[in-house]
Structure 1
Amino acid sequence: MARFDSSPGKADSPDPRNTANAGTNAGKQRKRSRIVAGAGTAVVIAAAVVLIPLSLGSPTPAPPAPPASSGSAPASTPALTPAEVGPRVTYYAQPGPPAGSPLEKVEPLKVDVSSDLVGTALNKGTMGISLEATDLADPDLSSDNASMVKLLKELDQPVLRFGGNAVDRRFFWTSTGEAVPADYKGDKTHPVKAVGPADLTRLKTLLEAGDAKVTLTVDLGHYNPARAADMVKNASQILGDRLLSITVGNEPNGFVFNDVKTDGYSVDQYVRELKDYASAIYAVAPNVPISGPGAFDSKWWQPFVDADIPQKKVLTFHHYPLSDCDGNVPQDSPTMANLVSHTMHDRAIDYQKAALAVGRAAGLETWIPETGVSACPGSNETSRTHASALWAADYALTAAQLGITRVSFHSSLLTCKGGPPLSAICSAGTYPFGNGKMSGRANFYGISMVAELEAGKFLKLGSSGGGLAFNYALQHADGSTSVVIINENDPEKAEQTSVTLNLPGKPVTGTMTQLSGPSYAAEDQTVIDGVKSEPTPLAKRATVPGFAYKSGTQNFKLTAGTVTVLNFKY
């Protein structure tokens, strides 16, 4: 739905079209850790500890006494051995409800997980980060940057996508060291960058260290199929199977609105130029798929699907749900009320389904290589907030459950202070370029909760009550079940939600990890298991409070403003 470029994170950004949130307004675009550990391990915060058997269920009853002989005294009950008693187990200690709770009551949540499959899956590599094409020139994208490697590992085999507004304006590929042409224009915060084979070689070290893959975008704004083909040839040779696809241009449907093309640009012209680029690329790198059109206007999806090009194709679209920057369409404005609402959730489903229908009819995979809460320039009341973490987790799981196989959240390498406010990652140091020490914002941790889920197939479920809660379930290869409950009720006001969870089996273990924050608007206070890091490893997670051994029905409470992942083994 919008473009995302790296601009200052302030409301008076000098170039609103080049924002870190990447969009133009509706008028121009016409679019709308670890706090706990596992059994027998110490914890950082208080948690209940009880003795339970090795099965991690209820305390083992004493074995029955043998039958007494006629006329003799009954035999005594033997004492339990340490092996029968089992280890000490830590129950998960989540943040409590707000002081004075219940300020707002929440209807109890009932979730019934079926053994039937939805027909879609969550795989490793579904989650990703999108950056500007000019970021390829940044030396911080290297295995030498431990902070960047750490972030990639916390997303567990992610995809890095390079594109954004920069690619058709300020990105110049050269494999021969040519000077950048004079008609390429940039500014202090958004300089023109030349990128060459050495940059791709450096990028490969980062991809290998962080176990990530990549999709690249070639410049369509400056029409040059031969130059694009040279870039893809080098990328294919250097990056090998870590290169997933190439996109021709970024949001061509917006070329007229954002001044990439001042003399008009149509769908027909795009398809003609796409064919020229595809033909040139196929001649030197025939095995690299073309993904596209990467448009925020649904009218451009079908022409891309129908374009006669020799490569394998992937349908892609961009989506920034709250990008009415002028308030002309209230339900599309980037407000907190819109962000945490059933409407936001339901409209995302509708838009994603529309794209999937086009892709599936053609037998194509469908990706969202660029998304975020909003494409409006500067800060708004959703920026940097804990609520954006809740939204990111729900949006990603919705997309994956529907069948979208890649989702990348647009971000920036600029500074946390003064840089793009809706970027999922940012750099420490002085604005604008910082020192390259990267960290994740609230929405990054929402993405991490999804990325760290074990791969699995989505299970059908039914639910009722719970107020503003969204629920998902996965069946894993080992037969275990993960249930994700996104409790978007207000963490400052809502009481804990009483949950009744009916499972498709009788679990012998039940563990949890949880993302939490003190309020919707809290900035830089989102944590996972009490720390700013990825979820606790599955094998070390604490037990679900009140876990009922071998019971298909589990009852517990969840604090508002949380993303909770529960895992049950049978």
Structure 2
Amino acid sequence: MARFDSSLGKADSPDPANPAHAANPANAVNAGKKKRAWIIAGAGIVAVLAATAVLVPLALGGPTQAPSAPPATSESAPASGPAEVGPPVTYYQQAGPPAGSPLEKVEPHKVDVSSDLVGTTLNKGMTGISLEATDLADPDLSADNASMVKLLKEIDQPVLRFGGNSVDRRFFWTSTGEAVPAGYKGDKTHPVKAVGPADLARVKTLLEAGNATISLTVDLGHYDPARAADMVKNASEIFGDRLLSVTVGNEPNGFVFNDVKTGTGYSLDQYLRELKDYANAIYAVAPKVPISGPGAYDQKWWQPFVDADLPQKKILTFHNYPLYSCDGSDPKGSPTMANLMSQLMHDRAADYQKSALKVGQDAGLETWLPETGIAACPGSNETSRTHASALWAADYALNAAQLGITRIGFHSSLQTCKGGPPLSAICSAGAYPFGNGQMSGRANFFGISMVAELEAGKFMKLNSSGGGLAFSYALQNADGSTSVVIINENDPEKAAQTDVTLNLPGKPVTGTMTQLSGPSYKAEDQTVIDGAKSEPKPLAERATVPGFAYKSGTQQFKLTAGTVTVLHFTY
């Protein structure tokens, strides 16, 4: 079987015959062009008034003032009465296609939102960042690093997951200051790191400053249940309720392929025996910490974990990189732009996630996807750092959430923007490889932010048709408001704006929007939200949907290609 390594930019391809990474493409193709959409409702009522000074989020240009209609008179009004006119508003101005672009007409997009619920929810903290376990030793993970605190706040209450390939190879926990054993091996860009209680205390300051939580992975590559239990005991005391779970080992199904275990190899039965030893040792010193696992990309490992007799077994975790075919043996699974921006990419991911959800739900376990990314391939490819990665990230996270996955972590690195892992959502300024700790977000980070900044709510059923390559989602908020997310993945260099007809389950009195945009699929460092490289504007500062029809259940507007648009309606 082929080797596989999930470290960003360092992975080799798994066996393409293994169904763990891709569902049957025929199932996705037969899904057709008709898409399901879900509406997302966020708490908070917004009215944008133009009578006074208004803060307006603009993607391009200045605000457009809506004219006030004259009051209807009894002589001019029809028998049924005139349509009600709302207060003056300021309309959102979105970016159009690049100048001179050939415009290909897109079939009009119709979205009908039902008041019926899907049965799943979008919770705060659903999206997060996955890092290497050795990153716990990095002094830049501290409340003193304002740039890192800012990033955490821009993905509202995220979970920081620490694991990756380093945990079973180059990570050494010690609470007594021991020297790293001689057998641990690293290199210039992947050094061996010792981590102790002082490191966890420093990371705690970052979590508090950025309002984040944490999930940890303990070393299974060097069998030592007592050492792992000591780490969890210290972590539980230091992090308290911010510690969400602990996983034993990272992708144990790949230990043989990745040379973690050599010689006689490593079997599923051996993993289950060692897992039980670890879980019992952890429970003895930290009985309230949930155990998650197996953190594997092979479906054959999921059910045995679920069936294992473990204390505090609470969460099924799995890993997935949808574009896994690094050697091109599966053309539809290769990391190309055509594959990334396709209906098949969306459908394959959904099929794989449904498989994991069934195993978890049948056992009454929560299901997490704590490590994911576009591709598990070494180095750069044509999807790396691109605006298209932002569109993908938003759709991937929302689709996972509406299916029932409750946590998702996009695997990333603290290394430099230039020379570091190209698929990382965050990166550091400065000299390669470790930079100066001034962190910033890449395009996919802003896609994550669009989802993270949504209010918690219940997904609602909807039907959609047309729109080309577009996906819609929906939530009903606690206050009764509705948010609609439309991800327009049509090519921003070629596609004309899409005419959208949105039928809502009520008659809104306000309708505002925020939008992520970029000039092309392949554009790097040009993805913006409301015209800036920042999180979405607060609800109270958002401008009105162009053409908003006051107290009308039907709204009609245009959306530019290559955008993620969040619409918020109050009734």
- Which residue of structure 1 aligns with residue 79 of structure 2? none
Q: Which moved more, 1:95-104 or 1:350-359?
A: 95-104
1:335 partner letter: T
2:334 maps to 1:321: no
- Which residue of structure 2 aligns with residue 92 of structure 1? 92
- Which residue of structure 2 aligns with residue 25 of structure 1? 13
- Which residue of structure 2 aligns with residue 71 of structure 1? none
Cα offset, 1:42, TM superposition: 4.9
- Which residue of structure 2 aligns with residue 180 of structure 1? 180
Distance in 1, matches of 2:568 and 2:528, equals: 20
When normalised by structure 2's length, the TM-score is 0.90
1:238 partner letter: I
2:123 partner letter: N
Distance in 2, matches of 1:359 and 1:61, equals: 59
2:131 maps to 1:115: no
Distance in 1, matches of 2:536 and 2:221, equals: 41
Distance in 2, matches of 1:29 and 1:324, equals: 10
- Which residue of structure 2 aligns with residue 39 of structure 1? 49
Cα offset, 1:397, TM superposition: 0.3
2:302 maps to 1:301: yes
Contact 2:142/2:206 (8 A) holds in 1: yes
- Which residue of structure 2 aligns with residue 69 of structure 1? none
Cα offset, 1:48, TM superposition: 1.4
Cα offset, 1:47, TM superposition: 2.8
* Greater C-alpha radius of gyration: 1
Output one character per residue of 1:410-432: Cα deviation in whole Å (capped at 9) or x when no partner: 00000000000000000000000
1:113 partner letter: V
- Which residue of structure 2 aligns with residue 9 of structure 1? none
Runs of 4+ in 1 over 6 A off after TM superposition: 84-87
Output one character per residue of 1:468-526: Cα deviation in whole Å (capped at 9) or x when no partner: 00000110011000000000000000000000000000000000000000000000100
CA 1:220–1:435 in structure 2 vs 1: closer, same or farther (change >3 Å)? same
Contact 1:510/1:543 (8 A) holds in 2: yes
2:49 partner letter: A
Cα offset, 1:29, TM superposition: 9.9
- Which residue of structure 2 aligns with residue 258 of structure 1? 258
Contact 2:101/2:493 (8 A) holds in 1: no
Cα offset, 1:21, TM superposition: 3.8
2:236 partner letter: S
2:64 maps to 1:48: yes
Q: Secondary structure at the match of 2:89?
A: strand
2:191 maps to 1:191: yes
When normalised by structure 1's length, the TM-score is 0.90
Distance in 2, matches of 1:29 and 1:107, equals: 37
- Which residue of structure 2 aligns with residue 445 of structure 1? 446
The equivalences for 1:520-535 within 5 A come to 520-535=521-536
CA 1:267–1:192 in structure 2 vs 1: closer, same or farther (change >3 Å)? same
Contact 1:22/1:164 (8 A) holds in 2: no
The equivalences for 1:229-240 within 5 A come to 229-240=229-240
Q: Secondary structure at the match of 1:26?
A: coil
2:276 maps to 1:275: yes
1:476 partner letter: N
Output one character per residue of 1:151-194: Cα deviation in whole Å (capped at 9) or x when no partner: 00001000000000000000000000000000000001110000
- Which residue of structure 1 aligns with residue 511 of structure 2? 510
CA 1:18–1:317 in structure 2 vs 1: closer, same or farther (change >3 Å)? closer
Distance in 2, matches of 1:17 and 1:271, equals: 21
CA 1:210–1:291 in structure 2 vs 1: closer, same or farther (change >3 Å)? same
CA 1:459–1:86 in structure 2 vs 1: closer, same or farther (change >3 Å)? closer
Distance in 2, matches of 1:50 and 1:96, equals: 20
Contact 2:86/2:509 (8 A) holds in 1: no
CA 1:18–1:489 in structure 2 vs 1: closer, same or farther (change >3 Å)? closer
1:267 partner letter: L
Contact 1:410/1:424 (8 A) holds in 2: yes
CA 1:102–1:507 in structure 2 vs 1: closer, same or farther (change >3 Å)? farther
Q: Secondary structure at the match of 1:194?
A: strand
Output one character per residue of 1:452-481: Cα deviation in whole Å (capped at 9) or x when no partner: 001110000000000000000110011000
The equivalences for 1:163-174 within 5 A come to 163-174=163-174
- Which residue of structure 1 aligns with residue 156 of structure 2? 156
1:26 partner letter: P
Distance in 1, matches of 2:67 and 2:466, equals: 34
Contact 2:499/2:559 (8 A) holds in 1: yes
- Which residue of structure 2 aligns with residue 7 of structure 1? none
Q: Secondary structure at the match of 1:313?
A: strand
Distance in 1, matches of 2:442 and 2:62, equals: 26
Contact 2:394/2:447 (8 A) holds in 1: yes
Q: Secondary structure at the match of 1:446?
A: helix
Higher relative contact order (CA 8 A, sep 6+): 2
Cα offset, 1:63, TM superposition: 6.2
CA 1:101–1:418 in structure 2 vs 1: closer, same or farther (change >3 Å)? closer
Contact 2:6/2:376 (8 A) holds in 1: no
1:61 partner letter: P
1:391 partner letter: W
- Which residue of structure 1 aligns with residue 32 of structure 2? none
Cα offset, 1:213, TM superposition: 0.2
Contact 1:417/1:431 (8 A) holds in 2: yes
Cα offset, 1:311, TM superposition: 1.1
- Which residue of structure 1 aligns with residue 471 of structure 2? 470
Cα offset, 1:103, TM superposition: 2.1
Aligned-residue identity in percent? 80
Output one character per residue of 1:34-60: Cα deviation in whole Å (capped at 9) or x when no partner: xxx9434154622311244xxxxxx46
CA 1:28–1:228 in structure 2 vs 1: closer, same or farther (change >3 Å)? farther
Distance in 2, matches of 1:29 and 1:142, equals: 43
